[in-house]
Amino acid sequence: KGKLYVNILPREEREISQKEFEQQMRPLFQNIPGARVSFSGGGTGGSNKDLTLILKSENATALRQTADALERQMREIPGLVDVTSSASLVKPEILIKPLPARAGDLGISVQAIARTASLATLGDRESSLAKFDLPDRQIPIRVQLAEEFRNDLDAIKNLRIPSQNGGLVPLSAVAEITIGSGPAEINRFDRYRQVSLEANLQGISLGDAVEQVQGLPAMNPLPEGVTEQSDGDAEIMIEVFTGFLSALGFAVLCIYAILVLLYNNFLYPMAILVALPLSIGGALLGLLVMQKELGLFALIGIVLLMGLVTKNAILLVDCSLANEKEGMSQFHAVREACISRLRPILMTTLSTIAGMLPIALELGAGGATRSPMAIAVIGGFSTATLLTLVVVPVWFTYIDNFMHWLQKLFRGKEVRPQLDVSVNGNGKGNGKSLNVLKKDSITTRG
């Protein structure tokens, strides 16, 4: 096993990306007989590959069979490359299977068989054994068979095991000894045996890859006792989406609360919040057109859209309310708001898109990683700006009409204050009266 580290040139000095370089080099290594070559990208979940799947079970046989079947089926999925399984890494080993009935007749326990085999092959360092003395310290002595005998099956069969009767019995008399193969390493996850299956992605998103793997026959259903454990980038993706929904909901709640305080009204902020779904649809459409996956940076761009889109809607609603307070009718107030606020809205939109273009074009180091964020902002802000000028005024008129209806319903008919004043030509009163209805409206009653 070995690793080869390759330092590629900076992005501005090369014409291909890292993924394209891996795609060109992969066929060259496939011609090496018996070699398993894969590219390690250093996944965000601590794994070396893009997709990691962990199977765990207490049944080692069922676990190995399931992992082998799943590995074969994963290799048939287009877009999955460098598929590997830790269960396929095996090495030769000596299998010693005790015979309990025969060992019991000869007075030998299973523990004695295991200790003798371990002492001969792996060695042991007991505190009662002699130590090699040096002037300043003592070095424990490991006792084990010589290397040429450890590889000799006949020598291991002739190992003598002390019995409870005081005699010595050969190992072959109380155990079956064969040459077999086993896993090169045994890994555990939550105290269960585990097998890790890993793969790199080529022309497929992580979400689509996970969905296709979950639909394989080997996974539906898993054998009894074998369970799946998400790990690596797939586990992080689940955590990110779960946290994103919570963050998005909290952001919308905060925006609504602030707008309620500013407008001193619970309904007018709803005309502003209606612009939020318009931006999300545009962001997803932009990612789809540009063939970018909905990852962490794209989600950051969607959260950024929440503040940008509401700003344009606030301009329209605030100007419409101000125009109504000046005495304009509802229709003229909304129309004047759209006309007067069109220029600042377009200026904000164009400047934001222009600022995001270098990131969307993947300019600079790491541009390919950050480009989904810029594409989400550009797509969402573009569609939201166009639709905000149409949808928000319509919603505002509905909400404004509903507000006027509520005011009439709860306030009822307003009572006009009256003031009766009786005057005569001499100022002493002769039965004539003035009925004062308003400050600017006085009628005379004879």
Per residue, what are the HEC states of 124-190? ECCCCCCEEECCCCEEECCECCCHHHHCCHHHHHCCEEECCCCCEEEHHHCEEEEEEEEECCCEEEC
User: pLDDT tens digits for 243-252?
Assistant: 778 888 888 8
Q: How far apart are CA 416 and CA 73, in angstroms?
A: 84
Q: Domain check: are 79 and 217 in the same one?
A: yes
pLDDT for residue 419 is more than 50: no
Q: Mean pLDDT: which of 38-47, 179-188, 204-213, 263-272 is highest?
A: 263-272
- Number of DSSP helices (H) and strands (E) in the chain, helices first: 13, 14
264/410: higher pLDDT: 264
Q: Domain check: are 435 and 385 in the same one?
A: no
Q: Mean pLDDT across the chain, nearest whole number?
A: 79
Q: Domain check: are 84 and 213 in the same one?
A: yes
Q: Domain check: are 346 and 201 in the same one?
A: no
**pLDDT confidence of residue 378:** 92
248 within a domain of the structure (yes/no): no
pTM given for the model? 0.57
Element (H, E) at 428: none
Identify the CATH number of the domain in which residue 355 sits. 1.20.1640.10
**pLDDT confidence of residue 425:** 46
Q: Which residues pair with 442 in a beta bridge?
A: 436
Average pLDDT (421-425) is 46
| pLDDT confidence tier of residue 230, bands split at 50, 70 and 90 | low
Q: How far apart are CA 159 and CA 168, in angstroms?
A: 9
Last residue of a domain, one of 183, 209, 227: 183
Q: Domain check: are 375 and 335 in the same one?
A: yes
**pLDDT confidence of residue 125:** 64
What tokens does 435 get? 């009925």
Q: How far apart are CA 69 and CA 220, in angstroms?
A: 12
207 within a domain of the structure (yes/no): yes
pLDDT for residue 21 is more than 70: yes
pLDDT for residue 322 is more than 50: yes
Q: Domain check: are 298 and 365 in the same one?
A: yes
User: pLDDT tens digits for 173-183?
Assistant: 888 888 877 77
Q: DSSP character for 216?
A: S
Q: Domain check: are 279 and 363 in the same one?
A: yes
On whether the CB atoms of residues 141 and 132 are closer than 8 A, the answer is yes
Identify the CATH number of the domain in which residue 145 sits. 3.30.2090.10
Domain count, the chain: 4
**pLDDT confidence of residue 186:** 78
User: How much of the chain, in percent, has pLDDT values that exceed 70?
Assistant: 85
Mention every residue, 6+ apart, whose C-beta is less than 8 A from residue 100: 110
Q: How far apart are CA 297 and CA 237, in angstroms?
A: 12
pLDDT for residue 437 is more than 70: no
Residue 428: give the domain boundaries: 415-446
User: pLDDT tens digits for 104-156?
Assistant: 888 888 888 888 888 787 777 666 667 788 888 888 777 777 777 777 788 88
pLDDT for residue 308 is more than 70: yes
